[in-house]
């Protein structure tokens, strides 16, 4: 599905991703782990073509996308749920969702799945996004990503800063998107317990590169303590 090889990525002249390689199989939930500031968000942004400069290879289903503009990557089926959610507070819930449809071949519409997963959003479509709680805004960011009919979903710390009782709902939603919708998911996550539960594979990032990767069963307590404890 996604094959990243020898990737370097830059903010101006500073290199935030260094010689990073990962392979995400079709249908996987691939957890990207590591301490603050190691380059997890930058990796997702680079896959989307949102950094200043990148070198190396990014293949989506065998097609090189490294030089493609972001909208073409989105049309090819890559969607993004950014860290911090980035919804537009003054836009209605409906317009926030429909914005995600810009890259969909089916046009701007609210997918049936969104109605099923997030009934609260559907009942409040005309309200501004800004009135929602953190957890509801996260649901909105996921709904917006689903509006582009993605095949590959890049999710950046979807449970960060969210009330514990809502965290479980978000986690269940991620699992359903993978199991029922067969979405391949790259999940940046600080919660190792959830990563163990939800993910099939992992990559541990440090200094902008992948230090250890493999099946989730291979994520030992030793690796976690070496690369994640402060
Ligand atoms: N817009 C930017 N301009 C310049 N440098 C940046 C920018 N965004 C991030 N960086 C730098 O790139 C490096 C990687 O940052 P990144 O945000 O990818 O880390 P992260 O692993 O996602 O961290 P966190 O867990 O805190 O979200 C850091 O050194 C950071 O300071
Ligand atoms: Mg980040």
Ligand showing the shortest atom-to-Cα distance for residue 45:
1
pLDDT tens-digit series, residues 195-224? 999 999 999 999 999 999 999 999 999 999
pLDDT of residue 214: 97
Domains (ranges, CATH) in the chain? 2-85+150-228 (3.40.50.300)
Residue 163: helix, strand or coil by DSSP? Answer: coil
pLDDT of residue 121: 94
Of the pLDDT bands very low, low, confident and very high (cuts 50, 70, 90), residue 55 is: very high
Mean pLDDT, all residues of the chain: 93
Q: Whose CA is nearest to atom 4 of ligand 1?
A: 11
Instruction: Give CB contacts under 8 A, 24+ apart, made by 130-137.
Output: 130/87, 130/89, 130/90, 132/87, 132/93, 133/163, 133/166, 134/85, 134/161, 134/162, 134/163, 134/166, 135/162, 135/163, 135/166, 135/167, 135/169, 135/170, 136/166, 137/85, 137/87
Helix ranges, the chain (H): 40-47, 70-75, 93-99, 112-117, 119-123, 134-146, 164-179, 192-198, 221-228
- The sign one gets for the Cα dihedral 85, 91, 93, 95 is negative
CA of 38 to the centre of ligand 2 (A): 8
How many angstroms separate the CA atoms of 116 and 180, rounded?
12
Mean pLDDT value of segment 167-193: 92
pLDDT tens-digit series, residues 148-171? 999 999 999 999 888 888 888 888
Mean pLDDT value of segment 186-199: 93
Inter-axis angle of helices 134-146 and 164-179, nearest 10: 10
> Cβ(33)–Cβ(202) under 8 Å?
yes
pLDDT tens-digit series, residues 70-122? 999 999 999 999 998 899 999 999 999 999 887 776 777 888 888 889 999 99
Ligand showing the shortest atom-to-Cα distance for residue 43:
1
Mean pLDDT value of segment 32-41: 96
In this prediction the pTM is: 0.94
pLDDT of residue 196: 94
Say yes or no to pLDDT of 183 above 90: yes
* Among 7, 8, 11, 86, residue to substitute to test ligand 1 (most atoms within 8 Å of Cβ): 11
Q: Whose CA is nearest to atom 30 of ligand 1?
A: 37
> Cβ(55)–Cβ(67) under 8 Å?
no
Q: Whose CA is nearest to atom 24 of ligand 1?
A: 36
Q: Whose CA is nearest to atom 23 of ligand 1?
A: 37
Residues whose beta carbon lies within 6 Å of some atom of ligand 1: 11, 16, 34, 36-42, 83
Q: Which two tokens stand for residue 48?
A: 């989307």
For 88, counting Cβ atoms within 10 Å of its Cβ (0-12 exposed, 13-18 middle, 19+ buried), the class is middle
> Cβ(104)–Cβ(144) under 8 Å?
no
pLDDT of residue 110: 84
CA 3 vs. chain centroid, Å, equals 16
Of the pLDDT bands very low, low, confident and very high (cuts 50, 70, 90), residue 35 is: very high
> Cβ(58)–Cβ(48) under 8 Å?
no
């Amino acid at each position: 599905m996604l094959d990243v090889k020898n990737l370097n990525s830059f903010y101006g002249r500073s290199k935030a991703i260094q010689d990073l390689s990962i392979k995400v199989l079709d249908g996987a939930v691939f957890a990207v782990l590591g301490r603050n500031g190691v380059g997890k968000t930058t990796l997702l942004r680079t896959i989307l073509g949102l950094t200043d400069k990148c070198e190396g290879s990014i293949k989506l289903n065998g097609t090189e996308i490294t030089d493609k503009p972001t909208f073409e990557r989105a049309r090819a089926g890559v969607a993004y749920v950014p860290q911090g959610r980035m919804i537009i507070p003054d836009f209605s819930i409906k317009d926030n969702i429909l914005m995600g449809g810009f890259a969909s071949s089916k046009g701007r519409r609210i997918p049936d799945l969104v109605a099923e997963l997030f009934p609260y959003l559907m009942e409040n479509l005309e309200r501004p996004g800004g009135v929602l709680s953190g957890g509801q805004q996260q649901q909105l960011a996921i709904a917006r990503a689903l509006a582009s009919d993605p095949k590959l979903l890049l999710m950046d710390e979807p449970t960060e800063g969210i009330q514990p009782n809502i965290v479980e709902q978000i986690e269940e939603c991620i699992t359903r998107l993978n199991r029922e919708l067969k979405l391949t998911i790259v999940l940046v996550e600080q919660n190792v317990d959830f990563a163990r539960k939800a993910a099939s594979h992992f990559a541990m990032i440090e200094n902008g590169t992948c230090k250890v990767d493999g099946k989730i069963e291979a994520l030992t307590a030793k690796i976690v303590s070496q690369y994640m404890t402060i």
